Amino acid sequence: MEVRVRYAPSPTGLQHIGGVRTALFNYFFARSSGGRFILRVEDTDRERYSDESLDDLYQTLDWLGIKWDEGPVVGGPCGPYIQSERFELYRKYAEQLVRDGKAYYCYCSPERLEKLRAEQVASKSEYQGYDRHCADLTDEERAEYERQGIKPVIRLKVPTEGKTTFHDILMGDITRRNRDVSPDPILLKSDGFPTYHLANVIDDHLMGITHIMRAQEWIPSGPLHILLYEAFGWEPPVYCHLPMVMGKDGQKLSKRHGSTSLRDFREKGYLPEAIINYVTLVGWSLDGSTEFFSKEELEKCFRIENIHKAPGVFDYKKLDWFNGYYIRACENSRLEELVLPYLVKAGFIGENPSEDELELVRKLVPAAKERMKVLSDIVPLSAFIFVDEPVVDAAVYCAKGSDADNTLSALEKGSEILLSGLKEGREYGKIEEDLSSLAAGLGVKVNGVFQPLRVAITNSTVSLPLFDSISLLGLEETEKRINRAIGILEAKNE
């Protein structure tokens, strides 16, 4: 049997980490088992629908390099793959259930249902929900409602006795008493729109879906879906509800923990390979120890059996660590292109960069690469080249264990060693050695010499390596900034 899986998001918000994880698991499972990955847009909720979310869905999958075998844009044998283009079909199937006695028309007004709910709440009734008022209408009663022009909904007849079990390959058997399944849920609304349950079950069946991998929050819908499959006389697919994605505090991942939308991650400058690698490890592992996986590897080695039962923890720091790794692994030429938009947006270089600006970026990238966790780090790391805002707080120049006095000496003597060394073309390593000896002579730590130089040159305590900074800035500008810093410290020491 060929594996057919789907990612079936509702375009009611931006793609987030949890959704992307669902997409990746489905995609990798399809690829590694020689099956097909289907994209289906579940846009039946027209009130919460937005074009922006749909665009964001396509952009996210494109950016990740996840291609769907069937779905919107590419088409396929079971199309259309956008639910709003399939409404006629849902009506047809719902009406068939009515004819088979598995569902019925309900003409209750919103007012009646509201009153019913209020009564149930007031009487603290154990029984909540629709009272099956229209379950056994006679033909005459129905005809009368129709004459009044009332548009009915179609409700599923949920058995009041017995139990329904569905099997989940991770969670085992999940059983509910039928009387606890929501009483006679609406399948088709009065305006002809299907509800999620109806459209989801019909499409999974018609699209030949063999495995449903989706978030655990859909487990409560499981028994109802099984009842629907039974009502239609269809075989349900295999279920695999995925472990939750948690923050480090054990709570469901949410905006409280940080960004969750992929758009935010893209904008901050995470690389697709880092997101793919790390997000796949949230709730899945090959052998419990291998950490680095390329997309191509995952397309081969992903096994459904290796999905964890326990919730997965999304650790932002760990993602940064992966991203730093992938930035370092990035070809310089690609990295130049990737950082360019950040430099343009910061106003550091023009929208149509000149040859000189491009040359500068070519020098900047290898210097910054080791120190970047996200692409946007290029902006703070390189700001000193483009905007000159000297540090006027003398304390910032002082390394731990140094005071204003020896920091001034370190800067004066250090700059002599540095600048004369550079002018004479001494090796960087040699200059560094001399600066270290200076520190020893002054009785301060190595950083007692390097920190004031770094702050003087780059206006910051975190920056690019010293010699890279100087080479990007030019000797003349470097000298000017060091002398300025000496002035700042002298004024302070007076």
- Binding segment (CB under 6 A) for ligand GLU, from list 2-10, 246-254, 298-306, 471-479: 2-10
Q: Whole-angstrom Cα distance, residue 473 to residue 422?
A: 13
Residue selected from 41, 61, 103, 106 as contacting Zn ion according to rule CB under 5 A: 106
CA angle 206, 211, 212 (to 5 degrees): 85
Q: Whole-angstrom Cα distance, residue 252 to residue 256?
A: 10
Q: Whole-angstrom Cα distance, residue 57 to residue 60?
A: 5
8 A C-beta contact, residue 2 and residue 36: yes
Q: Is 255 tagged catalytic?
A: yes
Identify which of 249, 266, 267 has the alpha carbon closest to the alpha carbon of residue 257.
Answer: 249
Binding partner selected for residue 4 from ligand GLU, Zn ion, none, CB under the kind-specific 5 to 8 Å limit: none
Nearer to ligand GLU, 8 or 438 (CB): 8
Binding partner selected for residue 10 from ligand GLU, Zn ion, none, CB under the kind-specific 5 to 8 Å limit: ligand GLU
Q: Which two tokens stand for residue 371?
A: 């120190």
Nearer to ligand GLU, 93 or 293 (CB): 93
3-state secondary structure of 342: helix
Strand partners, 194: 188
Binding partner selected for residue 15 from ligand GLU, Zn ion, none, CB under the kind-specific 5 to 8 Å limit: none
Q: Which two tokens stand for residue 74?
A: 């590419």
Residue selected from 26, 200, 277, 406 as contacting ligand GLU according to rule CB under 6 A: 200
Q: Whole-angstrom Cα distance, residue 209 to residue 200?
A: 11
- Binding segment (CB under 5 A) for Zn ion, from list 18-26, 98-106, 180-188, 360-368: 98-106
Contact call for residue 8 and ligand GLU (CB under 6 A): yes
Residue selected from 133, 176, 268, 492 as contacting Zn ion according to rule CB under 5 A: 133
* Burial of 334: CB neighbours in 10 Å, binned 0-12, 13-18, 19+: exposed
DSSP string, 191-217: TSPBPHHHHHHHHHHHTT--EEEEEGG
Smallest distance from ligand GLU to CB 113, Å: 25
Binding partner selected for residue 197 from ligand GLU, Zn ion, none, CB under the kind-specific 5 to 8 Å limit: none
Q: Which two tokens stand for residue 479?
A: 């000298």
Q: Which two tokens stand for residue 306?
A: 């290796």
Pairing of the two strands 211-215 and 238-242: parallel
Smallest distance from Zn ion to CB 145, Å: 9
Binding partner selected for residue 134 from ligand GLU, Zn ion, none, CB under the kind-specific 5 to 8 Å limit: Zn ion
Contact call for residue 214 and ligand GLU (CB under 6 A): yes
Identify which of 397, 189, 377, 172 has the alpha carbon closest to the alpha carbon of residue 271.
Answer: 377
The residue behind tokens 């206006």 is: 459
Residue selected from 16, 37, 42, 411 as contacting ligand GLU according to rule CB under 6 A: 42
CA angle 39, 45, 51 (to 5 degrees): 65
Query: Burial letters for 352-380: b for 16+ Cβ neighbours within 10 Å, e otherwise?
Result: ebeeebeebbeebbebbbebbbbbbbbbe
One of 115, 255, 423, 430 is an active-site residue; which one? 255
Q: How many residues bind Zn ion (CB under 5 A)?
A: 4
Binding partner selected for residue 218 from ligand GLU, Zn ion, none, CB under the kind-specific 5 to 8 Å limit: ligand GLU
Nearer to ligand GLU, 200 or 376 (CB): 200
Smallest distance from ligand GLU to CB 51, Å: 17
Nearer to ligand GLU, 36 or 214 (CB): 214
Contact call for residue 9 and ligand GLU (CB under 6 A): yes
Instruction: Name which of residues 217 to 256 contact ligand GLU (CB under 6 A).
Output: 218
Identify which of 30, 63, 72 has the alpha carbon closest to the alpha carbon of residue 276.
Answer: 63
Contact call for residue 10 and ligand GLU (CB under 6 A): yes
Contact call for residue 57 and ligand GLU (CB under 6 A): no
Binding partner selected for residue 133 from ligand GLU, Zn ion, none, CB under the kind-specific 5 to 8 Å limit: Zn ion
Q: Can you give the binding site for ligand GLU, defined by CB under 6 A?
A: 8-10, 42, 200, 214, 218
Catalytic residues: 255
